[in-house]
Amino acid sequence: MQLFGRVLALAFGLAAGLATGAASAADKVSFGTNWLAQAEHGGYYQALADGTYAKAGLDVTIVMGGPQAANRARLVAGQIDFFMGGTLDAFDSVKEGVPVINVAAIFQKDPQVLMAHPDQGIETIADLAKLDTLFLSGEGYDTYYRWLKSAYPGFRDEQYKPYTFNPAPFIADPKSGQQGYLTSEPRDIEQQAGWKPKVFLLADNGYGAYSTTIAAQQAMIDQNPELVQRFVDASIIGWYNYLFGDPAAANALIKKDNPEMTDAQLAYGREQLKAAHIVIAGEAETQGIGCMTPARYQSFYDSMVKAGVLEAGLDVSKAFTTRFVCKGVGLDLYKKLAGG
């Protein structure tokens, strides 16, 4: 661990030996999120709020996503430096010949869930096939629902009805199910309906996608790998501090960017990320937040080919690099904060 400590100090620009000559200006970095600011982005806001990015020699601007944002396109165009992407995004980039790849996977589990009424005998994810209706977005139908049909026989296209991001039809129909995000919709349903829905996390039932990845252009990786490493490491530290330290400063920045966000929703989202082990699971438990493996990418790709979502023949190795992760960054901090 002494060697790791020296490497981390060097990466963060904290070693005394680096203090020679005039201090250099921080590197300006822009990071585009995939939606409006929320607890699911907490680690990045934490690293900004508590100075972790600054200690790493980075002047970071978080470019918030949203309904009208096109942050993935901005990354491709070189208008931002990093983007909060996903596994399927990375596969699409390979297919399209776009030189953008994942350099870290912050969420080891995709927080996508399916929900059912609590009094309909739905006890497993396979039981959802008994329902008359599943309210799903078009994207959800084309991706994880096709995987679900492949992995759990009995699901049928006739169940599908478009989800308009209004839970009222689901609440009114006990023979229906609805998609959601673990950190959001279950709470919304309980508040509006007065009962807790049955919640099935796809990731705990075989859906192997990484989520909330950090994506970068290949040119950035080739030309400035040291900057990429600093951004990845500082983001990892930010996530440990957000989940297990005091999130108040980060939450204040989140609410500044997204004034509609509430303290109650932020607390709920953060707690769900911890309780369901969204960020710390699998290899991340022993090798640090952000860890990815080639085997995991290949397994998920194979499952999506089987489901007819993706075509066979893709060079999965071009979708990611493990160069910047799985180095144990932040594990000492995690032990200290979590008392483990």
Q: 27-110+209-338 maps to which CATH number?
A: 3.40.190.10
1, pLDDT greater than 90: no
Architecture in CATH for domain 112-205: 3-Layer(aba) Sandwich (3.40)
Q: Which residues contact 299 (CB under 8 A, 6 or more apart)?
A: 208
One-letter identity of residue 325: V
Which 3 state secondary structure label does DSSP give 155?
Answer: strand
The pLDDT of residue 20 is above 70: no
Q: How far is CA 249 from the centre of its chain?
A: 21
The stretch 155-166 carries a mean pLDDT of: 95
CA gap 40, 183 in Å, rounded: 8
Report how far residue 74's alpha carbon sits from residue 15's, in angstroms, rounded to the nearest whole number.
Answer: 35
Is the pLDDT at 81 greater than 60, yes or no? yes
- Residue 255 host element (H or E): helix 248-257
List, for residues 248-263, the tens digit of each pLDDT value.
999 999 999 999 999 9
Beta-strand ranges (E) seen in 117-271 are 133-136, 160-162, 176-181, 198-201, 211-217
Mean pLDDT of the chain: 93
- b/e map of 275-313 (b: 16 or more CB within 10 Å)? ebbbbbebbbeebbbbbbbeebbeebbebbeebebbeee
Residue 3: pLDDT over 80: no
| CA distance linking residue 291 with residue 29, whole number of Å | 22
Which structure tokens are listed for 160?
Answer: 């599908």
Closest CA relative to residue 247, chosen from 66, 12, 74, 49: 49
The pLDDT score that the predictor gives to residue 340 is 53
Distance CA 252, CA 266 (A): 10
Is the distance from CB of 228 to CB of 221 less than 8 angstroms?
yes
* Backbone φ and ψ of 106, nearest 5°: -70, -40
Q: pLDDT digit string (tens) for 31-42?
A: 999 999 999 999
pLDDT-derived band at 4 (thresholds 50, 70, 90) equals: very low
Torsion angle in degrees (nearest 10) through CA of 130, 135, 139, 141: 20
pLDDT band, very low/low/confident/very high, at 273 (cuts 50, 70, 90): very high
Quote the pTM value: 0.91
Confidence of residue 208 (pLDDT cuts 50, 70, 90): very high
How high is the pLDDT of residue 202?
98
Within the chain, all domains assigned CATH 3.40.190.10 are found at 27-110+209-338
216 Cβ contact partners less than 8 Å away, ≥ 6 residues apart: 75, 81, 82, 83, 100, 101, 103, 228
In DSSP notation, 266-301 reads: HHHHHHHHHHTTSSS-TTHHHH-TB---HHHHHHHH
